[in-house]
Structure 1
């Protein structure tokens, strides 16, 4: 695994994309930065961190040749890799909040942004961006954000956390390559935030309703049981869970 360490960059995902246009980049190349000035979340939202306190890195994955319609399997594998790594470090109250947030004790501690491109031969290149709040203390104007330090009361060696995530990621990529989808989804479903619990939701046009998360479809849509006993699926950014 080739690891490129940077002092600062605007975005590790963008750095890796730019590198791919200039040279051959081997599979599982990792770009990690101490400071990411313009980190991105879902749909272009910003992911801001304190310099040197957290983990911000991107991984190139290019040998899976997944059906683009089932690319969410990769999201599942990445999310559970982070959860399993943090479980090994005894982080309490871990959950995956659809679509790509990592929670601990009901607070967001991490996020995932996967950007895919299809080559003429059908091969899918995926850049997996991961942000994890490790030793950050202050989250001004972010009441639902936290870090491993705030959750546990102790500082963590970032390298230890980083290595744990990479080890779990490679193991779960092997399961994905072998099409062991059910094993991955079993862990994902077990860790899905508020699954089976009546919760309020809000649509992108600000309509609020009560529903129960039943699960997530293979293409990444959220399945919600409504009060009239019908089940509706929602795409990313069509609905948000209020908690």
Structure 2
């Protein structure tokens, strides 16, 4: 394991992408920063984090000749690794909000951004970026955000948490490498936020509808039992699950 610790950087994911553009980094190379000036989230969103309070890191995982159509299993495996890690810290009601936000007590505490390195139509490796709210106490204009410390009253050691996450990542990537896909999907769906509960969704056209989450497809679309009595599938660009 190779860990690079930085005081400040624009984005830990961008740092690893620059390295990978020259040659693939070592397996489980890690970049950790006390502050990211341009931290990124899903769909181009910005990840806002108080300096020194949270775990902002990226991990490079080599995946030689991994089939692109299986890429959502990477997302599920990473989500489960974070989920299992946080379970050890007595956080309340941890769930995975599709596709890979981590919630505790219905509040977002971790965002994940996965960027794949593709060559000859095969994935050669992935960059796993994570922003975990650890010891931050205030979140201005972010009513759905919280932190491990706010939820438990405990101040945590970020290095200890990172080490635990890396151990869980190794476990779940071993499951990927042994093609234990059915078990990964079963575990993921078992802890999916609002599964089997009536929920409200907003479409890309800003329309709202009600439905019940049934699970996910192997390629990552959300399966929703809609009001008209049929199960429809949606990708990330098509709908947003409202809290």
TM-score (norm 1): 0.97
How many angstroms apart in 2 are the aligned matches of 1:57 and 1:49? 12
How many angstroms apart in 1 are the aligned matches of 2:227 and 2:121? 46
How many angstroms apart in 1 are the aligned matches of 2:94 and 2:203? 25
- CA RMSD in angstroms comes to 1.2
How many angstroms apart in 2 are the aligned matches of 1:207 and 1:198? 17
Q: Is the 8 A contact 1:54 1:132 kept in 2?
A: yes
How many angstroms apart in 1 are the aligned matches of 2:222 and 2:122? 27
Deviations 1:160-206, CA, capped at 9 Å, x for gaps? 11111111011111111000112211211111000000111110111
Match of 1:73 in 2: 73
Q: Is the 8 A contact 2:77 2:184 kept in 1?
A: yes
Match of 1:139 in 2: 139
Q: Is the 8 A contact 2:220 2:235 kept in 1?
A: yes
Match of 1:190 in 2: 190
- Unaligned runs of at least 5 residues, structure 1: none
Match of 2:174 in 1: 174
Deviations 1:37-62, CA, capped at 9 Å, x for gaps? 11101111100100100001111112
Q: In the alignment, does 2:17 pair up with 1:17?
A: yes
Q: In the alignment, does 2:243 pair up with 1:237?
A: no
Match of 1:221 in 2: 221
Structural mapping, 1:52-71, within 5 Å: 52-71=52-71
TM-score (norm 2): 0.97
Q: Is the 8 A contact 1:68 1:124 kept in 2?
A: no
Q: Which runs of 4+ in 1 moved over 4 A?
A: none
How many angstroms apart in 2 are the aligned matches of 1:178 and 1:139? 41
Structural mapping, 1:65-144, within 5 Å: 65-120=65-120, 122-144=122-144
**Pairwise CA distance, 1:63:** 2.5
Q: In the alignment, does 2:6 pair up with 1:6?
A: yes
How many angstroms apart in 1 are the aligned matches of 2:183 and 2:15? 33
**Pairwise CA distance, 1:23:** 4.5
Q: Is the 8 A contact 1:119 1:125 kept in 2?
A: no
Alignment length (residue pairs)? 243
How many angstroms apart in 2 are the aligned matches of 1:121 and 1:81? 27
Question: Aligned pair in 2 of structure 1 residues 211, 24: CA closer, same or farther (>3 Å)?
Answer: closer
**1:17 aligns to what SS in structure 2?**
helix
- Unaligned runs of at least 5 residues, structure 2: none
Match of 1:156 in 2: 156
Deviations 1:60-100, CA, capped at 9 Å, x for gaps? 11235321011000000000000000101221110000012
Question: Aligned pair in 2 of structure 1 residues 105, 22: CA closer, same or farther (>3 Å)?
Answer: same
**1:111 aligns to what SS in structure 2?**
strand
Deviations 1:80-126, CA, capped at 9 Å, x for gaps? 00000010122111000001200000000001100112123834221
